[in-house]
Amino acid sequence: MEQPKIPVEIIMQQLAEDAGKVQERAQKASDILLGSLDTAIATTPYEVIYRQDRVTLKHYPAEAGTESSVKTPLLVVYALINRETMLDLQPGRSVVSSFLKAGVDLYMVDWGYPTRKDRFLTIDDHVNVYLDDVVDFVRERTGHDTINLMGICMGGSFCVMYSALHPEKVKNLITTVCPTNFDTDQGLLHIWMKHVDVDRMIDAFGNMPGDLMNFGFLLLNPARLMIDKYIGFLENMDNKAFVENFIRMEKWIFDSPDVPGETFKQFVKDCYQKNLLINSRLYLNGKRVDLRKITMPLLNIYGLYDHLVPPGAADVLTSKVGSADTEDVCLDTGHIGIYVSSKTQKEFVPKIVQWLTERENPAKGGAGRKGARKKKETVRKKRETAAGKRSVRAGRKIEK
């Protein structure tokens, strides 16, 4: 009889040691999960200074003693999908906190939770009523004729529409992970939306349910979002910081407001299915959204590995606007990583503050078109590198 290559006693000793480690980890995980956990999100102090229907405006007072080279107020507009709390998810990785430390006078729109009476609100209501009223409120409150506007995802699309229709009120425009070109097959979401019967969907639900959208997002990458993520949790249950951050993210993901039915329907039809926005053929309240009227400086930031707004859906914008001062910045991260990853926390807000500082006093000038072209070349190289990697793997009335 052939002798085993590894003595039985060594195998048994290893099994006993592994069992001991598992028991130790299980006990530590039990103590953490049954103990006191800090899982609060959106903890940076703010005051609600404006309210109209379900829409509110948050103002984050700058930290005492902080001086900023950016004097113009910054208004942040989040998407109707999920909530703006993403920008203040956890201590140490808060976009809101980083802006305040830089002394930026920060305002942020909270779209609230739509009810049945909101079903027939359109994109025009959100852009030309709610957003326009908020912008006018900030301008009146701060005494600035123009403000800096930063849009995120679908909120970015709204800001692009707003800037084209009301350019006289926007000093600088910043778009982040913002879909504007919907004629791309880079992301599964874009392929699905081209074929969805949105009329039947809204006839059935009224408003588009947030839970249903979340389910769809999970199906975009089920292996990673429904399996790997929870395996990772099981493997790190004995790490308190990991557990707290995991729960914060889960609380944000499943705090998903519905989207007003007519707005959702219009966004799917006019943008995903007809691609009207990027071609300046979108009309709101009878007025054409002409991107050539976006003549203010534009900073466009997106993620190389964004599966919801892939680079092809975001990087066409700068070539379509009328501004001579545009810049694309492609970060090595995904849709949410831009706001929460420790790596991009060191790049995202500092880049925006620097870019705004250079344009605070126009006499000092910005990067200009020449700088933009140079950046484009960098973006193109990143996309080519990413394509190579993928190939390998394929193996809102005023209350003062």
Q: Could you report the per-residue pLDDT of 279-332, keeping only the tens digit for each?
A: 999 999 999 999 999 999 999 999 999 999 999 999 999 999 999 999 999 999
Specify whether the CB–CB gap between 153 and 267 falls below 8 A: no
Specify whether the CB–CB gap between 215 and 190 falls below 8 A: no
Per-residue model confidence (pLDDT) at position 36: 87
Per-residue model confidence (pLDDT) at position 3: 61
Mean pLDDT of 204-214: 94
Is pLDDT of 371 > 60?
A: no
Is pLDDT of 389 > 50?
A: no
Q: Residue 383 CB: number of other CB atoms within 10 A?
A: 17
Alpha carbon distance 16, 9 (integer Å): 10
Per-residue model confidence (pLDDT) at position 382: 53
Q: Say which DSSP state 66 is in.
A: -
Query: From the candidates 153, 159, 178, 271, which is the catalytic residue?
Result: 153
Per-residue model confidence (pLDDT) at position 381: 54
59 or 238, higher pLDDT = 59
Mean pLDDT of 349-376: 70
Mean pLDDT of 58-86: 91
Q: Residue 131 CB: number of other CB atoms within 10 A?
A: 26
Q: Residue 204 CB: number of other CB atoms within 10 A?
A: 9
**Alpha-carbon dihedral of residues 366, 57, 179, 334, nearest 10 degrees?**
90
Specify whether the CB–CB gap between 375 and 327 falls below 8 A: yes
Q: Which two structure tokens, joined as six digits, stand for 125?
A: 């209501």
Q: Which two structure tokens, joined as six digits, stand for 133?
A: 């009223």
Mean pLDDT of 209-214: 92
Considering just the CA atoms, what is the radius of gyration of the chain in Å? 24
The label of the residue with tokens 């709204």 reads 158
Alpha carbon distance 264, 119 (integer Å): 9
Specify whether the CB–CB gap between 257 and 80 falls below 8 A: yes
Q: Which two structure tokens, joined as six digits, stand for 115?
A: 């009810």
> Is there a catalytic annotation at residue 153?
yes
Using DSSP's 3-state secondary structure scheme, residue 51 falls into strand
pLDDT bucket at 117, cuts 50 / 70 / 90: very high
The distance of Cα 338 from the centroid of its chain, to the nearest Å, equals: 8
105 or 227, higher pLDDT = 105
Percent of the chain with pLDDT over 90: 64
Alpha carbon distance 391, 62 (integer Å): 46
pTM of the model: 0.85
Alpha carbon distance 378, 183 (integer Å): 23
